[in-house]
Chain A
């Protein structure tokens, strides 16, 4: 009974490090009747190469768009970075004729052409706008009542507003919040929710991103969040994988479990923690699961 069908764009980080995100996403989407088609061929979305050469990024992204166009499907991105570069490139090439001609000039060399017939969506958009809340609500079998979590939408899901047309408020992103509420959990407000995690510069400097992430964790702790919910592998790595190192650097304890949104939703839909790969998280959600059990 699949109504919706997307070309799944996994990106590089998820297969490399965060299968948990992929596993939980696939499980949840299948149950919600969303059909995902694997990319027939793949290359990096281009985002990491933007700093090297802007044209390179545009062409790499456009190549993926061409693949999707050929399939006649919209792209579903799980990663904020992939979403940003694919979506931005898609919008720019559609609007800027000169730029399109330039990039198509490159694409011609590999026998492709950007036509501008597809769209790029992030998992959050697909759930909130295509699957719809009603359906998700109905799929929730075990509401996560009495659970307090904090959302971190990440930058590229909402900014630059010029290219993100999904009507979310970049100063106070609501979409993810609403999706969290559907699971029955409470989504707490905390200071500077829309601020960056710092991950993109971790390759050249660790001090600054650690400070940034620490500040965010601190704000969430102040707001009494029991877990943090992300929708981007980069943000997740920053807060989950690096959390022990942040704790060590600043000599503080946070012990803040960081869940991918589909993991949270999956729990509410009745999947077991193991099915959702919760055991692969660096910060073990022991207390959280304990609480859900006794709920």
Chain B
């Protein structure tokens, strides 16, 4: 049954569309110019990821934002395939920051859909625990000393904790659902 329903949704019906979405997006830091995109496709042609993945198409992401396909976008795991190389940002003839748009969409996915790749929760918890996004263990410190390197700077864990709280990030990550892999 669900298989059939999914197929019917091949046609985008008017009710799926959130015409206000693009305005909301254009107020977010990094996605301001999304409405200027005229779909030339330079970003996709430039994209090193798109060369090897048929799911990740930056132009299509911009189009979906313009059209207001918020739900489809936020449940699209391909968003997490952007490698942040900024080639698209540099080459866009309309100065649309596609990588910025993708970042905003990722933020929204975390905030509204409460979904995030597992790796980010791991990095975040490391950061909260030790100030570094990777777990620096005793072994690392010993090794450094052995190599004649100075001791690592001490993290201010209190501040980090606070920053997580005031920026709302702690709440964002609370009860978030995780997944491990994104298909390419």
Q: Is A41 part of the contact surface with B, judged by Cβ < 8 Å?
A: yes
- Please, how many angstroms separate the alpha-carbon atoms of A269 and B168 in the complex? 49
Give A36's nearest chain B residue, CB to CB.
B150
Contact assessment for B136 and A15 in the assembled complex, using a CB-CB cutoff below 8 Å: yes
Q: Is A63 part of the contact surface with B, judged by Cβ < 8 Å?
A: yes
Q: Is A288 part of the contact surface with B, judged by Cβ < 8 Å?
A: no
Contact assessment for B52 and A201 in the assembled complex, using a CB-CB cutoff below 8 Å: no
Contact assessment for B162 and A196 in the assembled complex, using a CB-CB cutoff below 8 Å: no
Q: Is B42 part of the contact surface with A, judged by Cβ < 8 Å?
A: no
Contact assessment for A195 and B103 in the assembled complex, using a CB-CB cutoff below 8 Å: no
Q: Is A110 part of the contact surface with B, judged by Cβ < 8 Å?
A: yes
Contact assessment for A159 and B87 in the assembled complex, using a CB-CB cutoff below 8 Å: yes
Give B110's nearest chain A residue, CB to CB.
A52
> Within the complex, which residue of B107, B153, B168, B181 is in contact with A51, where a contact is CB–CB below 8 Å?
B107
> Within the complex, which residue of B29, B53, B147, B160 is in contact with A277, where a contact is CB–CB below 8 Å?
B147
Q: How many A-B residue pairs have CB under 8 A?
A: 193
Q: List the B side residues contacting A109 at CB < 8 Å.
A: 162-163, 166
Within 8 A of A (CB), among B170-184: 172-173, 180-184
> Within the complex, which residue of A53, A99, A161, A203 is in contact with B169, where a contact is CB–CB below 8 Å?
A53
Given contacts A42-B154, A198-B48, A205-B181, contact A50 B103 (CB under 8 A): yes
The interface bits of chain B over 50-92 (1 if a CB of A lies within 8 angstroms of the residue's CB, else 0) are 0111000000000000000000000001001111111101100
Contact assessment for A53 and B127 in the assembled complex, using a CB-CB cutoff below 8 Å: no
Contact assessment for A159 and B85 in the assembled complex, using a CB-CB cutoff below 8 Å: yes
Q: List the A side residues contacting B38 at CB < 8 Å.
A: none
Contact assessment for B153 and A170 in the assembled complex, using a CB-CB cutoff below 8 Å: no
> Within the complex, which residue of B51, B99, B123, B127 is in contact with A43, where a contact is CB–CB below 8 Å?
B127
Q: Is A212 part of the contact surface with B, judged by Cβ < 8 Å?
A: yes
> Within the complex, which residue of A13, A39, A170 is in contact with B90, where a contact is CB–CB below 8 Å?
A170
Q: Is A140 part of the contact surface with B, judged by Cβ < 8 Å?
A: no
- Please, how many angstroms separate the alpha-carbon atoms of A253 and B120 in the complex? 32
A162 vs chain B, min Cβ distance (A) = 7
**Most chain A CB neighbours (cut-off 10 Å) among B116, B164, B180:** B164
Contact assessment for A207 and B184 in the assembled complex, using a CB-CB cutoff below 8 Å: yes
- Please, how many angstroms separate the alpha-carbon atoms of A197 and B90 in the complex? 17
Contact assessment for B89 and A159 in the assembled complex, using a CB-CB cutoff below 8 Å: yes
> Within the complex, which residue of A19, A53, A60, A205 is in contact with B184, where a contact is CB–CB below 8 Å?
A205
B108 vs chain A, min Cβ distance (A) = 10
Q: Is A55 part of the contact surface with B, judged by Cβ < 8 Å?
A: yes
Q: Is A23 part of the contact surface with B, judged by Cβ < 8 Å?
A: yes
Q: List the B side residues contacting A156 at CB < 8 Å.
A: 84, 86
> Within the complex, which residue of A13, A26, A39, A201 is in contact with B134, where a contact is CB–CB below 8 Å?
A13
A156 vs chain B, min Cβ distance (A) = 7
B151 vs chain A, min Cβ distance (A) = 8
Q: Is B143 part of the contact surface with A, judged by Cβ < 8 Å?
A: yes
Q: Is A44 part of the contact surface with B, judged by Cβ < 8 Å?
A: yes
Q: Is A155 part of the contact surface with B, judged by Cβ < 8 Å?
A: yes
B181 vs chain A, min Cβ distance (A) = 6
Besides A19-B144, A212-B48, 18 more A-B contacts (Cβ < 8 Å) are: A12-B133, A15-B144, A17-B134, A19-B149, A23-B147, A26-B149, A42-B131, A43-B155, A44-B133, A51-B116, A54-B103, A54-B104, A155-B83, A195-B48, A196-B48, A200-B84, A201-B82, A205-B80
Q: Which residues of A contact B (CB under 8 A)?
A: 10, 12-13, 15-17, 19, 22-23, 26, 38-44, 48-56, 59-60, 63, 99, 106, 109-110, 155-156, 159-162, 170, 194-196, 198-201, 203-205, 207-209, 211-212, 215, 277
